[in-house]
Amino acid sequence: MKVALFGRGRMGALVTEHLRRAGHTAGTVFASDERGLSVEQMAARLAGHDVAIDFSVGTAVPRNVSACVLAGVPVVEGATGWHDVYDTVVQGVKAGRGGLVVGENLSIGVNLFYRVVARAAELYGSLGGYSAFIEEAHHALKRDAPSGTALRLKVLLADQFGQDVAIASTRAGQIPGVHRVGFDGPHDQVTLEHSARSREGFAEGAILAAQWLVGKRGVYRFSDVLDDLLGGKA
């Protein structure tokens, strides 16, 4: 497949490397915030691509997705920091009959972690007496805090613990990403943690989602990709 990329940073370079290893073609690469081109010009450059992967910045997501919809190219959205325009972007994709996979975190391990946390929330929430909390840490250059992954975890906890689950965020050094969910009770505390050792997992997940999305229309979450690939086993 021929893949367009949004974002020329570390993730863009890593995805390009993984694509070439897998025998795919890395096509047009746009800057993280391609202000020098109109949406129509971006769409013209997307012609001939099978799918796009976006690891740019949150402020660029509406333009990038609009260009993909106009070009008829489905897109895997891996950028974070665009939660406030999520509904508008999704409506645009549906109206234009485009294709979109959304993942606050495209790591397969993190997405399985979501399922573990959701089940743990059911168990500890049903007992009563426990409070939930979230801690997350990323490298110093990550712009959004809390992370999209932490916000997703908060949603998973909300049914049992309400909307006020606390999130503590750390930005320091070169930390790829750590997410910890805790359940604190009067007599004990239980913690669940996912630690990313590198960004490789994000690149692999993005390419997996891209392969799955080719030829599809509609709006999906990365969990839909895993559901399909796992056949309902997880």
Mean pLDDT within 119-133: 95
Amino acid letter at 219? Answer: V
Q: Which residues of the chain form CATH 3.30.360.10?
A: 108-195
Mean pLDDT within 171-191: 96
Judge whether residue 232 has pLDDT over 60: no
Confidence band, pLDDT 50/70/90 cuts, at residue 35:
confident
pLDDT tens for residues 191-206? 999 999 888 989 999 9
- 195, β-bridge pairs: 178
CATH number of 108-195: 3.30.360.10
* pLDDT, the chain, mean: 94
The residues carrying an active-site annotation are: 138, 142
Q: Which residues of the chain form CATH 3.40.50.720?
A: 2-106+200-230
pLDDT at 106: 92
Confidence band, pLDDT 50/70/90 cuts, at residue 234:
low
Mean pLDDT within 178-189: 97
pLDDT tens for residues 83-116? 899 999 999 999 999 999 998 889 999 999 999 9
pLDDT at 198: 85
Residues of the chain above pLDDT 90, percent: 83
Confidence band, pLDDT 50/70/90 cuts, at residue 147:
very high
Q: Could you tell me which residues come within 8 angstroms of residue 25 by beta carbon, excluding any fewer than 6 positions away?
A: 1, 2, 3, 19
Amino acid letter at 54? Answer: D
Structure tokens at 114: 């979501």
User: Into which CATH architecture does domain 2-106+200-230 fall?
Assistant: 3-Layer(aba) Sandwich (3.40)
Question: What are the Cα distances from residue 110, in Å, to 149, 172, 181, 207?
Answer: 8, 21, 12, 16
Mean pLDDT within 47-72: 97
CB 197 within 8 A of CB 88: no
Per residue, the 3-state secondary structure of 122-145, as one string, reads HHHHHHCCCEEEEEEEECCCCCCC
